[in-house]
Amino acid sequence: MIVHQVFFWLQEPEKDLKAVMEGCKKIASVSSVKDYMVGVPAKTEKRDVIDHSYHIALTVHFEDLKAHDEYQEHPDHLKFIADHSQKWAKVQVYDFEV
């Protein structure tokens, strides 16, 4: 399985948080997505090893690398990027295999 984690830092979170989160939920309906979660930083204790600076986290599970690659090129994913990328100050992606 491939786990695809995306962290978004928004330029104007108070204005754009809801729209980007809804966009994340929409792209999670792509057929190659096995499961997904989207949320905001937890109100966990402040520690040096915890980064609470992002605004939205998206985790997507794929059956395999082929499913991940299909998602990357899917029209809904590309539309999400086109519709929302101007709202991001930074995006960080972590992919890992389990």
Q: What is the secondary structure of the chain as a DSSP string?
A: -EEEEEEEEESSHHHHHHHHHHHHHHHTTSTTEEEEEEE----PPP-TT-----SEEEEEEESSHHHHHHHHH-HHHHHHHHHHGGGEEEEEEEEEE-
- pLDDT value of position 15: 98
**What confidence tens digit (pLDDT) does each residue in 7-58 have?**
999 999 999 999 999 999 999 889 999 999 999 999 999 999 999 999 999 9
Q: What CATH code would you report for 2-42+52-97?
A: 3.30.70.100
